[in-house]
Amino acid sequence: MTRARTAPVLATLTFNPALDLQTGVDVVEPENKLRCDTPRQDAGGGGVNVARVVGRLGGRATCILPLGGSTGDALQARLSAEGLDARVIPVAEETRQSFTVFDRSRDAEFRFVLPGPRLREREIRALETALAELSPRPDVLVASGSLPDGMDPGRLARLARVARRTGVRLALDASGEGLRAGLEAGVWLVKPNLRELQECLGRDLPGLSSRLAAARELVDDGRAAWVAVSLGREGALLVGAGFAAHALALPITPVSTVGAGDSFLAGLVWELSRARSPQEALATAVAAASATLISPGSGMARSVDIRRLRPGVRIDILEGG
C-alpha cells in the first residue's frame, strides 16, 4: 500500500549561487589595512537560502545549482555540512563569492557582490535536465536569485511554461528582464520588492493603493496567481484572486539584511504549499524575514526567532479573507 505524503515536495533552482563570506571591522576607511574578524562562510544564492529557511520551518527542499572551481567545492562542502539536499551540476568556470563587512564605527553593513560565471549552453541544459529528472516531481519549484552574465532571461519563461505543463507550481523571485519574461509566461507566485515591481511595470507606485492595484493587475492578467510585494519598513503585500492583505513590519532593529527576501519567500511558499490560509502564510513570511534581519551576517533566520516573532505580526485584510 502506498503511503500518502504528508508534506509537500519542494525544490529550488539557483542559477548563480555564491559562497557568502561575512566579517567585521572597527571602521571601513581608505588606504589603511583593515584588520578583519574571523570570517564566517555560508552557502548562498536565492534558492539555497530559501531551502535553508524551509528546513528551519520543518520542511525540506532539494537545491539544484551549478558549481565550479575551488569556490564551488567549498560551497558544496557547506551544503553537506548543513544537511541540505543538493543536485549539483559541475560547470567550467569558478563559482562566485560575495562578502559582507560590518563597520562597527557606523553600525553599518557593506555588501560586495562579485560577478558569477558565464554558463555554457550545455550546462544550462544540464540544470534543466536535473530538474526534469527529480523524483518525486516537486509540488513547488522556487527559482530565485540573479541570472549569470550572458544568460538569456527567456529561460525563465521557458521554465514557467514547462512547470505549468508538468503540473509544478513555480514561485519566481527575479528582477529585470528575467522577471518580465517569467510573468509573461505566467507563474504561480512572484515575489518582487517595490523597486523590482516598479521597474517591471514601468511606473512609480507611491502609495499602498497604487501598489495594491499593480499587484492586482498581475493577478487579473493571469501573469501570477499570487503576488507578494516586499516593502521594507512598510511591511509586505500579498494579493491573489479575491484576496489582498497588508502585513505591517515588526518593530525590530535590523542587524543584517542578507537573505531577508529569501526568508520571506521561504515562509510564504512553505505555508501556501501546505494549504495554509494566505493570512497564515503572510505572517510566517514576515516572521521569517524579520528573524533573518536580526541574525548577523549570512546566518539567516533561526527557528526559535521565527516562532517567537510570528505571534506579533499584524495582518490587515484588504479584500476577502
DSSP 44-81: ESHHHHHHHHHHHTT--EEEEEEE-HHHHHHHHHHHHH
Instruction: Give the SS3 label for residue 315.
Output: strand
Question: For the residues 46-74, what does the mean pLDDT come to?
Answer: 97
CATH of the domain at 298: 3.40.1190.20
Give the pLDDT of residue 298.
65
**Residue 41 placed within a domain:** yes
Angle at 270 between CA 205 and CA 281, to 5 degrees: 50
What confidence tens digit (pLDDT) does each residue in 83-113 have? 999 999 999 999 999 989 999 999 888 989 8
Tell me how far apart the alpha carbons of residues 44 and 19 are, in angstroms, rounded to a whole number. Answer: 5
Total domains in the fold of the chain: 1
**Residue 3 placed within a domain:** no
Question: For the residues 210-239, what does the mean pLDDT come to?
Answer: 97
| Contact of 268 with 169, CB cutoff 8 Å | no
Residue in 37, 262, 305, 316 annotated catalytic: 262
**Residue 33 placed within a domain:** yes
**Residue 5 placed within a domain:** no
Q: What are the C-alpha distances in Å from 257 to residues 76, 101, 278, 291?
A: 23, 12, 25, 10
Give the pLDDT of residue 3.
37
Asked whether the bond before 30 is cis by omega within 30 degrees of 0, the reply is no
Question: For the residues 133-161, what does the mean pLDDT come to?
Answer: 95
**Residue 285 placed within a domain:** yes
| 262 catalytic per annotation | yes
Burial status of residue 251 (CB atoms within 10 A of its CB: 0-12, 13-18, 19 or more): exposed
**Which one has a higher pLDDT value, 273 or 111?**
273
**Which DSSP string do the residues of 83-147 spell out, in sequence order?**
T--EEEEE-SSPPEEEEEEEETTTTEEEEEE---PPPPHHHHHHHHHHHHT-SSPPSEEEEESPP
**Which one has a higher pLDDT value, 2 or 265?**
265
Question: For the residues 283-302, what does the mean pLDDT come to?
Answer: 89
**Residue 4 placed within a domain:** no
Structural domain including 126 reads 10-319
Which amino acid is present at 139?
Answer: D
**Within the chain, how many helices (H) and strands (E) appear?**
10, 14
What mean pLDDT, rounded, does the chain reach?
Answer: 94
Q: Tell me how crowded residue 280 is: count the other CB atoms within 10 A of its CB.
A: 16
- pLDDT over 60 at 126, yes or no: yes
**Residue 18 placed within a domain:** yes
C-alpha cell at 131: 530538474
DSSP 181: H
| Contact of 18 with 45, CB cutoff 8 Å | yes
